[in-house]
Amino acid sequence: MFPSLEAKLKRFEELEQRLQDPLVLADVDLLLDIQREYGGLRKVAESVRRYHRLEGEIAAAREMRDAADDAETREYAQSELADLQSQFNLLQAELEDLATAGDSITRGGLIMEIRAGTGGDEAGIFAGDLFNMYSRYVESRGWKMELLDASPSEMGGFKDVTFSITGNGAYHELQFESGGHRVQRVPETESQGRIHTSAATVAVLPEASAVEINIRPEDIQVDTMRAGGPGGQKVNKTESAVRITHLATGIVVKCQDEKSQHKNKAKAMRVLCSRLLERKQQEAADQRAEARRTLIGSGDRSERIRTYNFPQSRVTDHRIGLTLYKLDQVMQGNLDELISALLEFDRQERLGGDNGIGTASPG
């Protein structure tokens, strides 16, 4: 059996017990954290339990077959054994996938940040296009999206936008979207019809729980200010915007989307926790010298990972050499082919095998 999955089952059973603890039930924030982690582990725990149950049923069927006194009973037991063994083999392959997926498979939530890069107004518009692309994908998967903070750009789109995504498998599927996204197209403002290149960066942060990241009040500095909009306009006249500085790391988070200072602070704390968890995970990965992670999972925002070429209706993921000639569908949120290819590439890397990803034919 896979030790990593057995450890997840043990953690799931610990959380089952904690969910019956009156002290946990009385603490709403802690309860939500535990329920979130519990939900993320459910699929793995149920599969491991089914694996152990099948092991017992196979042993019983084999014992029944070997102890049978007549051919009819022996034949029946052998038929049962063959059916159970078939189920066992399928489940073993499923558990192998769960084990090679690592911790991402049990983490449901994430925070995504999209920032306009080089390219002026067009970069802001492209950041807005990426936001819409991910919004449509989230909707198609039945997940939930919540806007945490946004700075609109004057010509449309965003200077930057931060939002959370929650749902079964959300982080696992979107974990490799971090990095630089480049667009090549003729901007609406371009009178000469020339193709411009602009960029935006995407960061995918794992949603952190209080169990993983514990921030004490003395660890942070909280400042409040009036929220501002594009062109310097005031969103409101009260000091509802919140800026939180984590003193030890220098990480700064600002939220101003809500009119309530309390709500903005709560959202900023979520983003801060996720950034700290991302840093913690990156440091651990660096210490283990996981060289394979540099191929598709480094999360380096300066790394160009994908190009969206509108004149050729082409999207290329440079990390895995995959090109699709269906850019219109991709921008409408049809990311299944891209995401599946990235996950399969990662799986093959973990297994140490070869992958057969290349260029798809147009159409």
Residues 251 and 159 in one domain: yes
Residues 46 and 123 in one domain: no
Residues 144 and 292 in one domain: yes
348 found inside a domain:
no
The 10s digit of each residue's pLDDT in 346-355 is: 888 877 754 4
Task: Place 358 in a pLDDT band, splitting at 50, 70 and 90.
Answer: very low
- Half-sphere exposure at residue 357, Cβ-oriented, CA atoms within 13 angstroms: 24
Residues 59 and 112 in one domain: no
**Domain containing 195 — which CATH number?**
3.30.70.1660
Q: How many domains does the chain have?
A: 2
7 found inside a domain:
yes
Min mean pLDDT across 66-75, 86-95, 160-169, 342-351 is at 342-351
Could you count the other beta carbons within 10 Å of the beta carbon of residue 49? 13
Q: Which residue has the tokens 């999360």?
A: 299
Residues 256 and 163 in one domain: yes
Task: Place 83 in a pLDDT band, splitting at 50, 70 and 90.
Answer: very high
**Domain containing 75 — which CATH number?**
1.20.58
Residues 296 and 246 in one domain: yes
- 175 pLDDT more than 70: yes
199 found inside a domain:
yes
Last residue of a domain, one of 68, 100, 132: 100
State the pLDDT at residue 210.
60
Contacts of 117 by beta carbon, 8 Å cutoff, 6+ apart? 123, 180, 198, 199, 200, 201
- 344 pLDDT more than 50: yes
Residues 165 and 248 in one domain: yes
Please choose, from the candidates 265, 272, 276, the residue with its C-alpha nearest in 3D space to the C-alpha of residue 242. Answer: 265
Of residues 20 and 35, more confidently modeled: 20
Residues 50 and 85 in one domain: yes
The 10s digit of each residue's pLDDT in 98-153 is: 776 666 666 768 899 999 998 889 999 999 999 999 999 999 999 999 999 899 99
State the pLDDT at residue 251.
92
320 found inside a domain:
no
**Cβ contact 152:114 at 8 Å:** no
State the pLDDT at residue 301.
54
95 found inside a domain:
yes
The whole-number average pLDDT for the span 8-24 is 91
**Cβ contact 164:207 at 8 Å:** yes
Residues 193 and 279 in one domain: yes
Domain that holds residue 271: 106-303+327-342
Answer yes or no: pTM beyond 0.75: no
Residues 93 and 122 in one domain: no
**Cβ contact 275:164 at 8 Å:** no
Residues 150 and 93 in one domain: no
Secondary structure of the chain in HEC code, one letter for each residue: CCHHHHHHHHHHHHHHHHCCCHHHHCCHHHHHHHHHHHHHHHHHHHHHHHHHHHHHHHHHHHHHHHHCCCHHHHHHHHHHHHHHHHHHHHHHHHHHHHHHCHHHHHCCCEEEEEEECCCCHHHHHHHHHHHHHHHHHHHHHCCEEEEEEEEECCCCCEEEEEEEEECCCHHHHHHHHCEEEEEEECCCCCCCCCCEEEEEEEEEEECCCCCCCCCCHHHEEEEEECCECHHHCECCCCCCEEEEEECCCCCEEEECCCCCHHHHHHHHHHHHHHHHHHHHHHHHHHHCCCCCHHHHCCCCCCCEEEEEECCCCEEEECCCCEEECCHHHHHCCCCHHHHHHHHHHHHHHHHCCCCCCCECCCC
147 found inside a domain:
yes
195 found inside a domain:
yes
